[in-house]
Every structure is written in C-alpha cells, then in structure tokens.
Structure 1
Amino acid sequence: MTKRVLMGAISLVAASGAGADLLDARQMGRGFTALNGSYLDAGSNPALTNRHDESDDFGVNLNVGALASDKHELIDSVDGVSKDLDELEEAIENDVATQADVDDIVGSLQDLDRKAMAAQIGLSLNLGIPNRHASATLVAGSHVRVGGSLFYDDRDAAYLSDAVSTGNSELDGLESQVVVNAVAVTSVGVALGRTFDVPKVGAVAFGATPKLQRIDLFDYAASAKNFEEDDIDADEFATDKTAFNLDLGAFKAFENGLRAAAHIENLIPVSVDSARGDAYEQRPVVVAGGGWANGWVAVDSSVDLTAREGFGVIGDTQYLRLGAELDAWRWAQLRVGFRHDVKGTDEDVITAGIGLSPFNVINLDIGAAYGSNDTYGAALQLGVRL
C-alpha cells in the first residue's frame, strides 16, 4: 500500500474529527471479536457498557489501527505507467517511438488489469463512567476504508500502435481507467446501558448508542494516461453527509460460563451521493455472537447476519470471526483469532495479540493480523481504569 493512499485516508479522518472504531487492538488480537469485552468496548455493542467491576469508577482507552492489502503496489505501479505514457508521447514527437515501447506499456496495463488494493484505518477514543444503576460510555472514532483498481481496455493496444505509426503524440484517448474509492464513517455518541431481570431468562444487559455521524466519500477515476497520484486526496472528488443514527445491543451471561450477544449497527439507513454521481448506502448490520469464559480462558465467536455495504471498487463484506484469549491474573493476556469474509471481498486473516495490564489499572495492548496477498494489520491500545 502506498504512502500516498494512507495519507489520503488519514486526511479524510482528520477532516471529519474523531469517530467510531473497528480496529481495536484487543479485538484484532482475538479475531476482531468483542463479546468478552468490558464497558470500554461499548462501541462494538452498547450492551457491553453494563460489563464492569463494582470497583470501576472511570475508564478511558485510545486506539489506532490499520489493515492493508496491496500485493501489486497498485497506485505506484499505475503512476509508473502514466510516466511511461508521457515518455512515449515525447518519443512520438521526436519520431523515435517503437512498437516495442507500445508492447511494454500494454503489457504493464494487462498485468495490472483488475488488480486491487484495499486498506482500512481506525482511530477511536472510549471514555466510560460505569455504575450499578445505569452506565454510560462515550464512544468516538473514525473508520476509513480505501479501495483501488485498474481496468484495462483492449482497444488501447491498437490505439497506441496507431499513434506510433501516424505520429500522433496526443494520447488522451486511452480507455483504461484507474478508480480509487474511500468511505470514512465518523461517529460520536454515548452508549447507555442497564441490566433487567427478564422472566424465565434472568439478567440480560441491554444498551443503546444514539450518535451523530458524518460519512465522507471519495470517488476518483482517471485514464491511465491522466492519472496523478497527487490527485488522490483532492477535494473535488470528495462529498460528505451528516446524520443521526442509533446502535442497539443485548448481552447475556449464563452461570456455566456461556455468553450470548446480539447488536444492530446503524439502525437508520443513510444514503450519500458521491462526486461522480454514485451513491453509498449505509444499511443496518445485524451481528450475533456466542462464547464461553472461565476467568482464565475466553473463547469468542460472532457473525454478521447481514452484509456491510461497499462502495465503488470497495466490495460488500460479511464477516465470520473466531477468537480466544488467555488471561493471567488480569495482568497479562495472550490472544489469537481468525476472520473470514463470506463475501470474498477481504482476505482471510489470522490474528494474534498481547496485552499488559498491571493491577488492572493501566493497559497496553498490541494486535496484529496477517493474510494472503500481502495483507498486514496492526493496532495499538493505551488505557486507564480507575
């Protein structure tokens, strides 16, 4: 993944302020699961705001994470082809261009055809004030998804050959295109939760997060000849929309250590038009999870029952997650996990993580992810609980 695309993605976050997080270091370490989290994981399920110790009065954590796949270094490669086309124009003007020059460029375009890059960046801040009557957690962060691809057009081979034979050095008629899309969802809300005694079921924690969202879209397309890496963060390709939304969640812990949870993300659908006339549809996502814990070992699983909408070259996703955590006296944690996208958009990843939490007051957590096609991820969390 290129440095420029990362900068463009970060600029979308900065333009939006703080927002919601999906790249939490603890969650990444255990396969992106959140079932066995605490009130500081309420951004993943508002019902978790009820999960705290009696001695907890205040907690805060800060997360930053990234996950990227770019085996073919797409943006840099396309930028190189664009420069080769500039050199071909100059060679045609000087009457020194050859068919071999054309073949090299066409070969590069064919090699890059439908090759994709993808990246995610997450930033978050969670601040909780738990109590036995009604708990509240401020959840704020941004999550950015970036995707890019080149689409080769067979007509370009004949077009370039004709340009060399006729001496036409204006190559603006190329049909091959590079497309870069990004979606940044920024949210600030308060997760509110309370536990109720449900007849024949027992104690069940419920939660809701009313939140304000800003959705930023970036929709860029250019011919392989006119592609400019510097344009990737240009304002003319960006649009945004601000809306109110709501998350709902439930959590149940059984006496035998089993646990179950469900939540709905973004209950209110939101549609945002892009700069090129397309639309991004943010629809509700229903997630269900189950697991088991005994104080030393915790096993989590969760599945998206509905798909998460993509945009442009960013495809839809629908995740199945598995994770486990070994906790040594609440001082140190070792985590492993796995995530599979049933839609096939994102690569399968295996994950691992470690955590240090002396006296269960200060925590430092690191998560890592690895998958095929040069997919790498990392996340860092710093926190304090009093």
Structure 2
Amino acid sequence: GGAGLAAAQTELANRTRALNNELQKIDQEQARVDLGMGVSALIPSQRFGAGLFVSGSARIAAKINYNDQTTLDQLEDLARNTVITDIDDVNALYDTANDADQLQSTVRAVGSAYSQVGLSMSHNFTFFGHDYALGVSPKMVDLRAYDFVTSVDEFESDDLEDTKVSESKFNLDLGVASFLDDDEQLLVGLSVINVVPMEITTKPGRDNTNLGPGFAPQGIDIELKPKVLAGISYQGASYELAADLELTKTEEVFGEGDTQYLGVGAEYDLAEIFQLRAGARYNIAESEDVLLTAGFGLRAAGVTLELAALGSTDANTVGAGLQFGVTF
C-alpha cells in the first residue's frame, strides 16, 4: 500500500545518502598493488665471490576523483520528495533517475616497473688490521611508467600500455660489511643502491569520454635516487637478530606518501633444517601502522624453500613472498 511505498522511498533515499557519504570518503584515496620477483646464481668464495642476478618489480596505483556528489544528491531528493499516486509517477521517477546516471567521476591509474640485470662481485680485504668485505654490482636498469585517466565505468587496465615511457641506463650498487668482534657474531654493513640517479615523466593518456572541465592532469615525475641503508645483525648458536635502517627518504610518486623504513627481525634455526622468522617494519617518514612479517624456511639436501607473509596492523596492507634456491 501507500505506507509501504513511502517506507521504501525513504529507505532508498537513506541508502543513497549513505552511499554518497562513503564515496566522498574515498575521494582521492589510493589503491595499490606491488609485485616483485628475482633470480640469482652465486659462486661464493672466501676471498672473491661473483654472481649473476635478474630482478624486477612493478606497482599499479589507482586514485578516484569523485565528481558525482550532485548527481546522488539529486537522486536522494527525488526518492525522498516524489509523491507517487499512479504508474505514471513511477515511470517519471525512473526516467529522471536514468537521465542522471551518467557518471562524472574519474579514475587515474599509474603503473611503474623497475627491472635490472647485473653482476655481483665481492672481495675480502684487510685495512689497518681489520677485515672487511666489499661488494660491487654493476648492472643495467630499465625504468618505465604508465599513466591513464578515464571515467570509472570505462576503465580497462589494457589502456595503460598505450602510455608507456621508459629509459634504460647503466647503474651500480655498492656495499661494505665487517664483523665487530673476534668471534664473528656481530656484523655491521652499509650499502648504496642505484648510485646513478634516473628520472622519467609519465605522459597521461585519456579515453574519449567527456571527463569534465579542467581534467587534463600533468605528468608525474618518477625518480630513482640513490638509497643508503645501514644494517646490523647478531648470529647466535641457533638464532639470528637483525635490524636495518634506510638513511635516505624516498619521496612519494602518486599519493602513497614518503617512505623511510626501519626494520627489525629474528630467525630461529631448528636442527639447521627448519627456520622460523618474525619481523616488523615501520615507516619513520610517515605516521603509519607497523607492518608485521612472519615466515618459515626449509633447507635440506641443498634445496632451500622459504615462505613469508606480511600485513599491517590496520589490515590495509597484506602480502606474501616465496623464495626457492638450490645449492650445489
């Protein structure tokens, strides 16, 4: 009857308002996916070690620019104030709502990919009576980026490929490490990743949809700057404790915030076969929740299998990692 119809209209209006409020909360918020993989072959030695490595990582980030507040306000007003007496009123309400469903909100997706292939070399030497290990990794680095803008109902991830920009350049990693005690349990190290800076600027593409006035975004600068890290570890009889700190800050690219991580971890070795691990990482450049990690390893007959999981305390970040190795 009429009372039930009025109640349904009120419920529809209330849900429209709630949806509008929730969408306004995620305006300019970012969703991000990170992927990475690598393969290396190493030849260890007491005095000189060498190895070949290939690795890559990618990130896809999307941000919503919410522009449909007015549309949902109008729909809420229609649902709350339209007086329905016959089927013609229902049809008129439907037609008005259907005319207002052309979404104006947009999504911008930015992807970046980093890949490298190089040679790792290490050499032990003595300086003023103290032993050090020096590592040098010459490599070729490929940096590429994608940037696409479209309406929320037209987005296709394949559109990113048409906006690719890239640069390849020779680069270098450096590192030095030394034990602080005669028992060789307390180890400290310092490394510089990507000594040669690199930078590319995205070229935003867009579809043919009318995205609204003023929506012609500028390109985003993606920089690969040298990163300096310091670390310390202690090796016990069946356990190991470690901590590392990024001494340089990585500036944000697309709204993800600056990063500069402090990490701590521990490993317990059971019978030199099973390893249990736990750790935590905190971004000292931003006020973020702690990222917790846990994992286990298996070493037997020259085969190594390691599995790890991670998650933030606010449950907004989750991840997993798998590593497989063979020693012969």
Query: TM-score band, normalised by the shorter chain?
Result: 0.7 to 0.9
Which of residues 239, 247, 253 is equivalent to 2:173?
247
**8 Å contact kept, 1:333–1:355:** yes
Is 1:117 matched with 2:21?
no
Further displaced range: 124-133 or 204-213: 124-133
**In 2 relative to 1, CA 215–285 (structure 1 residues): closer, same or farther, beyond 3 Å?**
same
**Structure 1 residues 107-146: aligned runs within 5 Å:** 107-146=21-60
| Deviation digits for residues 358-377 of structure 1 (CA, Å, limit 9, x no counterpart) | 24x11111111121234221
Report percent identity of matched pairs.
26
The one-letter code sitting in structure 2 at the alignment partner of 1:305 is: L
**8 Å contact kept, 2:115–2:143:** yes
Q: Could you tell me how far 1:173 is from its partner in structure 2? A: 8.1
Count of matched residue pairs? 282
Is 1:259 matched with 2:173?
no
Q: Which structure has the bigger radius of gyration?
A: 2
Q: Distance in 2 between matches of 1:139 and 1:145?
A: 21
Q: Could you tell me how far 1:235 is from its partner in structure 2? A: 1.3
Alignment match, 2:90: none
**In 2 relative to 1, CA 169–237 (structure 1 residues): closer, same or farther, beyond 3 Å?**
farther
**8 Å contact kept, 1:347–1:375:** no
Higher relative contact order (CA 8 A, sep 6+): 1
Alignment match, 1:177: 106
Alignment match, 2:311: 370
Q: Distance in 2 between matches of 1:232 and 1:110?
A: 27
Of Structure 1 and Structure 2, the greater strand share is in 2
Q: Distance in 1 between matches of 2:179 and 2:62?
A: 42
The one-letter code sitting in structure 2 at the alignment partner of 1:157 is: Q
Q: Distance in 2 between matches of 1:99 and 1:332?
A: 58
**8 Å contact kept, 2:239–2:268:** yes
Q: Is there any run of 5+ residues in structure 2 with no aligned partner, and where?
A: 1-11, 79-92, 205-218
**In 2 relative to 1, CA 137–295 (structure 1 residues): closer, same or farther, beyond 3 Å?**
farther
Q: Distance in 1 between matches of 2:284 and 2:60?
A: 19
**8 Å contact kept, 1:365–1:382:** yes
Of Structure 1 and Structure 2, the greater helix share is in 1
**In 2 relative to 1, CA 123–346 (structure 1 residues): closer, same or farther, beyond 3 Å?**
farther
Further displaced range: 246-255 or 105-114: 105-114
**In 2 relative to 1, CA 231–170 (structure 1 residues): closer, same or farther, beyond 3 Å?**
farther
Which of residues 286, 307, 314 is equivalent to 2:256?
314
Q: TM-score, normalised by structure 1?
A: 0.66
The one-letter code sitting in structure 1 at the alignment partner of 2:160 is: A
Is 1:269 matched with 2:269?
no
Alignment match, 1:351: 293
Q: Could you tell me how far 1:121 is from its partner in structure 2? A: 1.0
Q: Is there any run of 5+ residues in structure 1 with no aligned partner, and where?
A: 1-97
SS in structure 1 at match of 2:250: coil
